[in-house]
Chains A and B, each alone.
Chain A
Amino acid sequence: GIQVEQSPPDLILQEGANSTLRCNFSDSVNNLQWFHQNPWGQLINLFYIPSGTKQNGRLSATTVATERYSLLYISSSQTTDSGVYFCAVDNNAGNMLTFGGGTRLMVKP
């Protein structure tokens, strides 16, 4: 099946700093989503981005489908950005999302 790798696995930032999270995948995809899992365990949809670039406030994402990677940019980080960021993809083989291992982000005040 498709492999999804995220980097870095852990990230500690000072409030106000910027960061880039990366997601590499091993096959072509129909769907790529970024999620934020907050400290209470809730999965929050950030982006649905199988290709191209999108922005939502301080967050933006870019997927280069031909090169099989996606980037999530967080600017001017806040303590509420803390949690785990997951990339998940759905390839041509079926309906399931395959999740990466996540990037655990801690933003310190």
Chain B
Amino acid sequence: NAGVTQTPKFQVLKTGQSMTLQCAQDMNHNSMYWYRQDPGMGLRLIYYSASEGTTDKGEVPNGYNVSRLNKREFSLRLESAAPSQTSVYFCATATSGRGNEQFFGPGTRLTVL
């Protein structure tokens, strides 16, 4: 039972390159989330998916796209990376969206040069 897994753990990109961050969960949870954490700060929500087939914007969605591939997998794509997207990215899951406990993956540390 791995919980929430994220790949890759680390990534370095050049400005303008694209990449996809992967998240998978085996907790049978309906809701999945992508957050970013900038140095010295708490996490901020980028996008979330309340159930398979649905996605919604969070607090800081600009520059990102997401895909809820199936119940287990939720990916985050940077189409044209910018230095401002240098951050640690966390995926999270919850049984259902509102008012339910969220569980976080180990994070992906992304640097954009």
Q: Is the CB of B42 within 8 A of A96?
A: no
Majority secondary structure, B binding face: strand
Q: Is the CB of B45 within 8 A of A96?
A: yes
* Bound: A22/B104 CA distance, A: 22
* Bound: A108/B94 CA distance, A: 35
- Please tell me which one of the listed residues A4, A43, A95 contacts residue B104 in the complex, with CB atoms under 8 A apart: A43
A101 and B101 contact, Cβ closer than 8 Å, known pairs A41-B88, A42-B106, A95-B50: no
- Please tell me which one of the listed residues A30, A45, A96, A102 contacts residue B103 in the complex, with CB atoms under 8 A apart: A45
* Tally of A interface residues using CB under 8 Å: 24
Q: Select from chain B the residue with minimum beta-carbon distance to A35.
A: B104
Taking the closest CB of chain A, its distance from the CB of B30, in whole angstroms, is 11
Taking the closest CB of chain B, its distance from the CB of A77, in whole angstroms, is 22
Q: Is the CB of A97 within 8 A of B43?
A: yes
Contacts of A97 in B (CB 8 A): 33, 35, 43, 45, 92, 102
Contacts of A101 in B (CB 8 A): 41-42
Q: Is the CB of A96 within 8 A of B107?
A: no
Taking the closest CB of chain A, its distance from the CB of B87, in whole angstroms, is 12
Q: Select from chain A the residue with minimum beta-carbon distance to B50.
A: A95
Pairs across A and B, CB under 8 Å, 22 listed: A1-B59, A4-B42, A30-B98, A30-B99, A31-B99, A33-B101, A41-B109, A43-B104, A45-B104, A86-B43, A88-B42, A92-B98, A95-B31, A95-B33, A95-B56, A95-B97, A96-B45, A96-B58, A96-B59, A101-B41, A101-B42, A102-B41
Which residues of A pack against B, CB within 8 Å? 1, 4, 30-31, 33, 35, 41-43, 45, 48, 50, 86, 88, 90, 92, 94-97, 99-102
Closest 6 CB pairs of A and B: A99-B42, A30-B99, A95-B97, A96-B45, A48-B101, A43-B104
